[in-house]
Amino acid sequence: SLINTLLLNTLFLICSLNRVAVIHSLQTGATSTFSFSAAEGQFINILLPGGGKILTLCEVEVWADDQLRPHPHENIAAGAKAAQSSTQEHQGNAQNAVDGNNNTDYRRGSCTLSKFEAEPWWRVELPGVCNVTSVTITNRGDCCGHRINGAQIRIGNSLKNNGNNNKLVAVIGPLGSEVTKTYRFRATEGRYVNIFLPGENKILTLCEVEVFADEEFRPESLYLHDQTELQNLALRGTATQSSLHSSSTLAAFGLAQNAIDGNRNSHLKRGSCMQTGKESAPWWRVILHHKSMIFSVALTNRGDCCSEDLDGAEIRIGDSVKNNGKDNPLCATVSSIPAGQTEYFNCSALLEGSYVTVSLPREGTLSLCEVEVFGVPVVRCGD
């Protein structure tokens, strides 16, 4: 790969005595990979012909033999779920760009094709929150290669504006004679990779999009205080609680699963709240669908009576069921929640875990009408 600080023209890449590639142009600060038939040699030369020239290179990387692919990890976009702003005809559907086929002839059925429209986009959902380090784009080769000029590669966890507001990591400039190009950038965490083409009356075509990532997950760039960017991870999970009310009638209304049914109705007898019996340190716990990075938890208090029962409750998140999950790290403590109201509790730090426990550190009855857990699954890339 070559990273340049000046716009270079007609730069020759020479392996031994053979010319293997010509670098027609590179954008400032850009990285490009040049692939060619295997050439044997000990020396790699970068030659800029002509007088009065200056040659500047910020990095040169060479792969050979068992490292022919310049990516240490697999393509995590292969076969993943894809979407796009529009589809001009059936054979140009979004999934074609992640089918593992790099054929660049649109008529062979392995490229996407949007309609002519303002700001077309294409998006792939990765298998989890991934630490993305590079994206390889294969452009259409049978015609119309210029259409991709100016397209933006964006990565993040938000679906606001269809994901087109996520972090900009690269801009696709004129590809010249290249059909496939790799864009490298500082590792960026995200679940979604978007190709976004700004402007009016545009058409977006992609023949393959490959995404490569490190295995390490770091949460620093994820949103913390805006629940609109996150999903309720507790919805219809698996819940359990320390006990049921001693009254069989009330016990039938107060099942653990009621607190994650998506219904915030705050009247116990409407069948959408949980309730324990009166006991020492009652608790309720949900097992999430995936281990997740949790940012906040929303609790809906009972509205028909007894709202003070929730005062002092603790929200804990982690992977342990020791002491019924009450030994896991503390997310937040409830001072009080008005009757029938929903309040959000932002964790003091990002907490990772599969279990969310709400408990009273005293004798009492625990009632909750809805528990919502906001965060992102942290399925490692390639899992």
Task: Please state, in angstroms and rounded to a whole number, the distance separating the CA atoms of residues 377 and 345.
Answer: 19
Q: What is the pLDDT of residues 197-249, one digit of tens each?
A: 999 999 999 999 999 987 555 454 454 444 445 679 999 899 999 999 888 77
Q: What is the pLDDT of residue 229?
A: 54
Q: Which CATH class is domain 229-377?
A: mainly beta
- Model pLDDT, residue 228: 40
- Name the average pLDDT for the chain: 86
| Residue % of the chain over a pLDDT of 90 | 63
Asked if the domains 81-221 and 229-377 are classified in one and the same CATH topology, the answer is yes
Helix/strand/coil percent split, the chain, to 5: 10, 40, 50
The domain defined by 81-221 folds into Jelly Rolls (2.60.120)
Q: Could you please report the per-residue DSSP string of 28-51?
A: TT-EE----S----S-EEEE--SS
Residue 68 in this model has a pLDDT that exceeds 90: no
- For residue 342, pLDDT over 80 is answered with yes
Tokens 């959000």 — which residue? 344
Region of poorest pLDDT, from 14-18, 29-33, 165-169 = 14-18
Lowest mean pLDDT among 42-51, 118-127, 181-190, 317-326: 42-51
Over its C-alpha atoms, the chain yields an Rg (Å, rounded) of 27
Q: For residue 271, what are the CA distances in angstroms to 236, 250, 252, 268, 339?
A: 15, 10, 8, 6, 17
> Hey, where are the domains in the chain?
2-66, 81-221, 229-377
Within the chain, residue ranges assigned H as helices are 248-253
The mean pLDDT value for 254-280 works out to 95
Report the phi/psi class of residue 70: left, alpha or beta, with left for phi > 0 and alpha for psi in -120 to 50.
alpha
Instruction: Give the pair of three-digit tokens for residue 168.
Output: 């900009």
Return the pLDDT at 369: 97
**Interatomic CA distance for residues 241 and 259, integer angstroms:** 11
Q: How far is it, in rounded angstroms, from Cα 348 to Cα 340?
A: 25
Query: Higher-confidence residue: 70 or 57?
Result: 57
- The pTM score is 0.51
Q: What is the DSSP string of 321-382?
A: -GGGGTTSPEEEE-----TT-EEEEEEEEEEEEEEEEEE-SSEE--EESEEEEEEEE-PPTT
Residue 266 has a CB neighbour count (10 Å cut-off) of 22
284-340 pLDDT, tens per residue?
999 998 888 898 999 999 999 999 999 999 999 999 999 999 999 999 999 999 999
3-state SS, residue 92: helix
Confidence of residue 59 (pLDDT cuts 50, 70, 90): confident
